[in-house]
Amino acid sequence: MVAQRNTEPGASAALSVFRFSLAQMVMATHISALTPPQTGRLAVEAFFCISGFLITMVANGRYEGRPLAFLANRFLRIYPTYWACLAVGLAVVLMVPSSSVIHPSLVVPASAADWLANLGVFGLTQMTVSRILPAAWSLHTELWFYLLIGLVTATRPRATLVMLAVTLAISAYCAFWWAPVAFYGTPIGNADAFFIGSAAWHFRGRLRPARPLLLAGLGLVAFESLAWAPIVHSQVLYEFLGAPAAAAFLLGLWNSRIDRALYAVRGLCAMLGRISYPLFLLHWPLAALVWSVTGFAPSPALWLTAGAASAMVSIAVLVVVEDPLNWLRVRIRHRTAMPAASRVPAVID
């Protein structure tokens, strides 16, 4: 999703591993037949919270006062990789017409509206009949908040607090009472997760805990417990609490100094974080391809084999698509030098 940087390389490395684990949680929910029903949804809520945090961070850093540079680099970060994965997904759907057995949206678009939604992402919702990359509906939601937070509220802490209060109220209403839109799966219903993350970045200093690693650990334990525990109360309650738990993890992590512990494996951690995005996009069509060859129904076997295939194709996408574009992204990122006091070493950006 959004790229990341921080003065503490260990924090970024830890977040990269967390993002990879979230992608695995989504995959496990979809194709392993092992998880509780809320697991994947909490992972998506955490992805949204992380996006709000990191969008706010980069908009207040190297892209402050540079909205066109922000938009250009977000475009280069999201769309080339998305289109490469879309091409892989389309190839699978064409080769395996029965892919819809694995997911009903794995069909070639039959209308101009569906083609436009698949190519442009905006308008690609869970209601879109054909989604060549079924998980990509979440990008439709994310892109709205790239624009709203990145261009409007990211540099305005008070506006962020106002939006946090408003979106919490709206999301709670969507979650626990009748509303015209669903809580999960819509920009309106999921807006709170983005502003929880954005507020966590703005106030990470004022809310600095005395024991940040303890807070990060408690936030992670709370999140994983919500994600994997049997449903005792309503499922939507677990999903609603997912973003606050992820924000507690972020707040503790970003105030921690764990770089020494993770320095030796920072490259591996960064790679896991980088492949989480194409992995998230590709797992459904590649699960259909593996199913057509092996006959595996949703099961641990399908999760392991399709997961391995998705990881290999994701690495290929990074090498063929992302890496060659990196020079352009670096040029855009550094075209206007920042004051020395505000420069921060980039880990992933």
- What residues pair up with 4 in beta bridges, in sequence order? 348
Query: What token pair was written down for 193?
Result: 């997760």
Determine how many CB atoms are found less than 10 A away from the CB of residue 335.
11
Query: What token pair was written down for 197?
Result: 């993350």
CA distance linking residue 278 with residue 155, whole number of Å: 29
Handedness of CA 172, 181, 101, 122 (dihedral sign): negative
Go through 14-41 and write b for each residue having 16 or more CB atoms within 10 A of its CB, e for each that does not: bbbbbbbbbbbbbbbbbbbeebbebbbb
Tokens 């969008």, located at residue: 55
CA distance linking residue 329 with residue 44, whole number of Å: 26
- What residues pair up with 348 in beta bridges, in sequence order? 4
List the chain residues with pLDDT less than 50. 1-9, 337-349
So what's the pLDDT on residue 3? Answer: 40
Residue in 323, 330, 327, 321 with CA at minimum distance from that of residue 349: 330
Please report, rounded to a whole number, the percentage of residues in the chain having pLDDT higher than 90.
78
So what's the pLDDT on residue 180? Answer: 77
Residue in 241, 116, 229, 95 with CA at minimum distance from that of residue 171: 241
Residues making up the chain, counted from first to last: 349
Query: What token pair was written down for 332?
Result: 């855009």
So what's the pLDDT on residue 4? Answer: 42
So what's the pLDDT on residue 208? Answer: 85
Per DSSP, the three-state class of 105 is coil
Cα–Cα separations (whole angstroms), residue 54 to 4, 117, 262: 6, 26, 20
CA distance linking residue 189 with residue 44, whole number of Å: 13
CB distance 55 to 200 below 8 Å: no
Give the up-direction half-sphere exposure of residue 74: CA atoms within 13 A in the CB hemisphere.
24
Task: List the chain domain ranges.
Answer: 9-342
CB distance 93 to 132 below 8 Å: yes
CA distance linking residue 49 with residue 247, whole number of Å: 7
Phi, psi dihedrals of residue 337, rounded to the nearest 5°: -65, 140
Query: What token pair was written down for 56?
Result: 């706010």
pTM higher than the cut 0.75 = yes
Per DSSP, the three-state class of 124 is coil
Go through 192-204 and write b for each residue having 16 or more CB atoms within 10 A of its CB, e for each that does not: bbbbbbbbbbbeb
Q: Where are the alpha helices (DSSP H) in the chain?
A: 9-31, 39-59, 67-95, 112-120, 137-148, 157-176, 191-202, 212-228, 235-254, 259-262, 266-294, 300-317, 323-334
Query: What token pair was written down for 126?
Result: 């869970």
CA distance linking residue 222 with residue 251, whole number of Å: 14
Tokens 């919702």, located at residue: 125
